[in-house]
Amino acid sequence: MARKYHRKRRPPKRDRTTPAGEHVPVMLAEVLRVLDPQPGQTVVDCTLGFAGHSGELLQRVGPTGLLVATDLDPENLPQATEKLAAVGFPFHAVHSNFAGLPGVLAGVGVTQVDGLLADLGMSSMQVDDADRGFSFMRDGPLDMRMDPTRGRTAAELLNTLTADDLAAAFRDLGDEPEAEAIAAAIVAQRSTKPLERTQELRELIERAAPVTPLLGPGHGPIRKQKLLPTTRVFQALRILVNRELANLTQLLRVLPDLLKPGGTAAIISFHSGEDRLVKTAFRDGVRAGVYSEASDEPIRPSEQEKLDNPRARSAKLRWARRAS
């Protein structure tokens, strides 16, 4: 009898903007190991998001401790607050930029904390909402503001900055080698019609900086560049719109004064510019005696986590401990 063979059905391609493990906090085990939150301590989560990290921190400081969490995006707060309230322990969730953390802490009667976390990545809720304009995978308005109530949108910057300023942003914030060509194309485009949609920008970038397919070993299956120009430009625009490096610089400046002696800060970055700022601040703090110790090398997510949650792939965790 002839044997029937059935073609094995391939799993559907994973949309990189909605990976498995959605809302799963990045490097949670590593964060808890570094901060080692104890009952009765006061801890801060500078980037509340969906409360993945915050919920676990709150569980560990318990009913005699306190969690203070901030988020620049007011749309994250209702759902996150509901999740934290279900834990039943004391917390404050505040709509604020973490650059203004000293004022936030003063407002809730806190001067110094035992532990502080800043996860500089975007939340999946922001990426997956086409109306926010963060992702080129879905067409939407070119907004990209983490706080949609203030600031200039990506469209406003694209349609007003000079070609030199745009090129500098794409090069310095996105590491894009074709920055000048893309900036020139944007300026040419806006002379006839302003850029308003993510799909418009994506198509412009793909025309200005076409990707050359790379052949695998032995001229095998074609593979593309790991990071596309579109990815790098969208990343650079998001950082520019939200002044992310300036805000991080301010947090690093005030951070030592916010930590109790022996208190620990942990920062997860996803961009080389962010990681350089954190590395330099922690290194200089150790040399100046402000920090007693800091991580020599960044902690990276496990291979399993990178498989389960593609957004964790570029994450780097660095920590520093305040001198006693």
- Domains along the chain? 28-125+245-322 (3.40.50.150), 148-239 (1.10.150)
State how far the Cα of 203 lies from the Cα of 230, in Å rounded to an integer: 9
Three-state DSSP class for 215? strand
Q: What is the pLDDT of residues 248-272, one digit of tens each?
A: 999 999 999 999 999 999 999 999 9
pLDDT, average across residues 209-227: 63
pLDDT > 90 fraction of the chain, expressed in percent and rounded: 78
pLDDT of residue 16: 34
Cβ-in-10-Å burial (0-12, 13-18, 19+) of 103 comes to: exposed
State how far the Cα of 149 lies from the Cα of 154, in Å rounded to an integer: 14
- Residue type at 76 in one-letter notation: N
* pTM for the structure as a whole: 0.85
Tokens of 113: 């904390």
Considering 125-139, 156-170, 200-214, the range whose residues carry the highest mean pLDDT is 156-170
Four-CA torsion 52, 58, 59, 62, nearest 10 degrees: 180
pLDDT, average across residues 287-310: 95
pLDDT, average across residues 292-313: 93
Cβ-in-10-Å burial (0-12, 13-18, 19+) of 218 comes to: exposed
pLDDT of residue 15: 35
Average model confidence (pLDDT) across the chain: 89
- Residue type at 156 in one-letter notation: E
pLDDT, average across residues 26-53: 97
Give the ranges where the chain is alpha helix by DSSP (H): 28-35, 52-61, 77-87, 101-107, 124-128, 154-158, 163-174, 179-190, 198-208, 229-241, 244-258, 272-287, 303-308
Tokens of 65: 């401790």
| Spatial contact of 67 and 83, defined as CB atoms under 8 Å apart | no
Q: What is the pLDDT of residues 132-167, one digit of tens each?
A: 888 888 899 999 999 998 999 999 999 999 999 999
Q: Is pLDDT above 90 for 112?
A: yes
Cα distance from N-terminal residue to C-terminal residue, the chain = 80
pLDDT of residue 95: 96
pLDDT of residue 216: 59
Q: Tokens 């910057």 appear where?
A: 157
> DSSP of 244-260, one letter per residue?
HHHHHHHHHHHHHHHEE
Q: What is the pLDDT of residues 224-254, one digit of tens each?
A: 555 689 999 999 999 999 999 999 999 999 9
Q: Give the relative orientation of helices 52-61 and 28-35 as an angle to the nearest 10 degrees.
A: 40
pLDDT > 70 fraction of the chain, expressed in percent and rounded: 87
